[in-house]
């Protein structure tokens, strides 16, 4: 007898019929308070050595239907090691075709990053002795909005802000922060040590802990897409943005990174602030230098594929990178990692995953170091 459940941290699926392993009929579940859907994460029990065909009948209604093209779901027996499983997208139906080798297996849209892992990340960071944890306020459901401050906070320090996972289904963003933090807090790492001599880092590892636990793709518990709240955030609808933005206005910002995942484009890429009013040749030169240094530090980064450039003055100013880059006239990027794989360096077994996100987070410190001497206005 098969059983499919999702009643756990970040679990999300609608089960229509799980009687026949060859015809398991599922649907994508919408975010708790909005229509966005694409994230799924569920447990299948009782199917050892049975060929299972799991179909999502509403995949064409997902937030990014092109995200199913050339995409494969991830699976795990132990919730630590995740691998890609045979998947296909035809006539609006996304299908997973897999024969589990044990009676308990998990399937997900991408390698999860649990709330327990998030709390452990905070604990480990504080345990380094180099990191101060501050509570900036509470989320819609009353979880803590935590800021990690790393550095001497000297008045002359560069203020480097990194936020991640405004969109909770983009779990690669928090894997990335784990990598960045691990290197930044390594007292043996020369780049980290030299950076902390001239910069204080302000890092929010998860901007959307409620949406993460709820198994949402794009919104917080109140149905807000946090990356559209940066012009007029409110404590009621988008406290996560409201309190972080308040703190930024207090500290100032010399460099800003907003870490995301992209459903459709099979590459690692960045989007800058070319469309904001304050954009100028200095920022343009810094963007070029940063991306060159990043591509040198990590063969997983590239600048050929990505989002279309915004026309001058046409940026969406409700987005974090646009609002911060403009308000502080600073270098600011949205960094995107793929739900699929990096086609420049494909891995057929794992695709893009947590560990590659973590290593990219380590590498970004080299790019920050490369431009750090030129960041002060």
Out of 104, 310, 317, 318, the only residue in the binding site for ligand GEM (CB under 6 A) is 310
Which strands form 24-27's sheet, in the order they lie side by side?
14-17, 24-27, 52-56, 93-98, 87-90
How many residues line the site for Zn ion (CB under 5 A)?
A: 3
Query: Of 338 and 354, which has the nearer Cβ to ligand GEM?
Result: 338
Closest distance of CB 336 from ligand GEM, Å: 6
DSSP state of 311: P
Residue with Cβ nearer ligand GEM (15 or 317): 317
Q: Which does 84 bind (CB under 5 to 8 A by kind): ligand GEM, Zn ion, none?
A: none
**Antiparallel, parallel or unpaired: β 83-84 and 24-27:** unpaired
334 near ligand GEM (CB under 6 A): yes
Q: Minimum CB separation from ligand GEM for residue 233, in Å?
A: 15
CA atoms within 13 Å, Cβ hemisphere of 170 = 32
Q: How far is the CB of 368 from Zn ion (least distance, A)?
A: 21
Binding residues for ligand GEM restricted to 207-236, rule: CB under 6 A = 227
Please give the DSSP secondary-structure letter assigned to residue 354: H
Longest distance between any two alpha carbons in the chain, whole Å: 65
Selected from 4, 52, 184, 319, the binder of ligand GEM by CB under 6 A is 319
Smallest separation, CB 72 to ligand GEM (Å)? 20
Q: Which stretch binds Zn ion (CB under 5 A): 102-110, 143-151, 252-260, 353-361?
A: 252-260
- Contact indicator for 269, 337 with CB cutoff of 8 Å: no
Q: Does the protein bind Zn ion through residue 260 (CB under 5 A)?
A: yes
Which 3 state secondary structure label does DSSP give 139?
coil
Q: Is 167 in the site for ligand GEM (CB under 6 A)?
A: yes
Q: Residue 319 touches which of ligand GEM, Zn ion, none (CB < 5 to 8 A by kind)?
A: ligand GEM
SS3 of 158, please?
A: strand
User: Would you give the binding string for Zn ion spanning residues 68-97, x where CB under 5 A is met?
Assistant: ------------------------------
What is the number of the residue whose Cβ is closest to ligand GEM?
Answer: 260
Backbone angles phi, psi at 315, to 5 degrees: -65, 150
On whether the CB atoms of residues 264 and 66 are closer than 8 A, the answer is yes
Q: Following CA atoms 115, 119, 125, 129 in sequence, which dihedral angle do they give, to the nearest 10 degrees?
A: 180
Q: For the chain, percent helix, then strand, then coil, each to nearest 5?
A: 30, 25, 45
When binding is defined by CB under 6 A, the residue of 134, 135, 234, 307 that contacts ligand GEM is 307
By beta-carbon proximity to ligand GEM, the closer residue of 238 and 334 is: 334
The dihedral formed by the CA atoms of 122, 128, 132 and 137, expressed in degrees to the nearest 10: 10
CB atoms under 10 Å from CB of 129, counted, come to: 8
167 sits near Zn ion (criterion: CB under 5 A) = yes
The yes or no reply on residue 29 touching Zn ion (CB under 5 A) is no
Parallel, antiparallel or unpaired: strands 104-108 and 131-138 = unpaired
Contact 330, 371 (CB under 8 A): no
Is residue 336 annotated as part of the catalytic site, yes or no? yes
Residue 336 sits in the site that holds ligand GEM (CB under 6 A)? yes
Which token pair is 28?
Answer: 């994508």
Q: How far apart are CA 281 and CA 290, in angstroms?
A: 14
Q: In whole angstroms, how close is the CB of 262 to Zn ion at the nearest point?
A: 7
Interface mask toward ligand GEM for 233-262; x: CB under 6 A: ---------------------------x-x
The one among 54, 203, 214, 271 contacting ligand GEM by CB under 6 A? 271
Q: Who contacts 94 (Cβ-Cβ below 8 Å, separation ≥6)?
A: 55, 56, 59, 68, 87, 88
Cβ atoms < 10 Å from Cβ of 281: 7
Q: Which is nearer to ligand GEM, 183 or 260 (CB)?
A: 260
Closest approach of Cβ 84 to Zn ion, in Å?
21
Quote the least distance from Cβ 270 to ligand GEM, whole Å.
9
Q: Which residues bind ligand GEM (CB under 6 A)?
A: 167, 227, 260, 262, 271, 307, 310, 319, 334, 336
Q: Which residues are catalytic?
A: 336
């Amino acid at each position: 007898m098969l059983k499919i459940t999702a009643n756990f941290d970040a679990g999300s699926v609608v089960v229509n019929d799980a009687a026949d392993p060859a015809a398991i009929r599922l649907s994508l579940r919408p975010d708790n308070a909005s229509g966005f859907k694409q994230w799924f994460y569920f447990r299948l029990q009782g199917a050892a050595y049975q060929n299972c065909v799991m179909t999502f009948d509403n995949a064409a209604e997902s937030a990014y239907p092109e995200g199913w093209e050339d995409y494969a779901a991830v699976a795990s027996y132990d919730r630590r090691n995740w691998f890609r499983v045979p998947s296909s997208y035809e006539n609006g139906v996304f299908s997973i075709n897999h024969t589990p080798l044990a009676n308990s297996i998990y399937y997900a849209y991408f390698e999860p990053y649990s709330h327990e892992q998030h709390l452990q990340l905070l604990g480990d960071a504080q345990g380094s002795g180099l990191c101060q944890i501050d509570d900036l306020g509470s989320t819609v459901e009353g979880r803590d909005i935590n800021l990690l401050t790393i550095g001497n906070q000297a008045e002359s320090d560069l203020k480097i802000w990194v936020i991640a996972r405004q969109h909770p289904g983009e779990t690669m963003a928090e894997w990335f922060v784990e990598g960045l933090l691990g290197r930044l807090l390594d007292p043996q790492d020369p780049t980290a040590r030299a950076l902390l001599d001239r910069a204080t880092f302000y890092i929010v590892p998860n901007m959307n802990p409620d949406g993460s636990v709820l198994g949402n793709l794009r919104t917080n518990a109140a149905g807000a897409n946090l990356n559209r709240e940066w012009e007029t955030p409110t404590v009621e609808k988008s406290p996560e943005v409201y309190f972080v933005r308040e703190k930024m206005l207090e500290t100032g910002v010399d460099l800003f990174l907003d870490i995301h995942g992209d459903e459709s484009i099979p590459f690692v890429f960045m989007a800058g602030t070319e469309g904001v009013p304050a954009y100028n040749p200095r920022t343009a030169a810094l963007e070029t230098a940063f991306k060159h240094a990043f591509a040198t530090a990590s063969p997983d980064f590239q600048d050929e594929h990505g989002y279309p450039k915004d026309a001058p003055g046409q940026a969406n100013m409700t987005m974090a990178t646009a609002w911060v880059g403009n308000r502080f006239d600073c270098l600011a990027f949205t960094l995107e990692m793929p739900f699929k794989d990096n086609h420049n360096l494909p891995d057929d077994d794992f695709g893009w995953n947590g560990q590659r996100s973590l290593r990219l987070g380590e590498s970004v410190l080299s790019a920050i170091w490369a431009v750090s001497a030129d960041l002060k206005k």
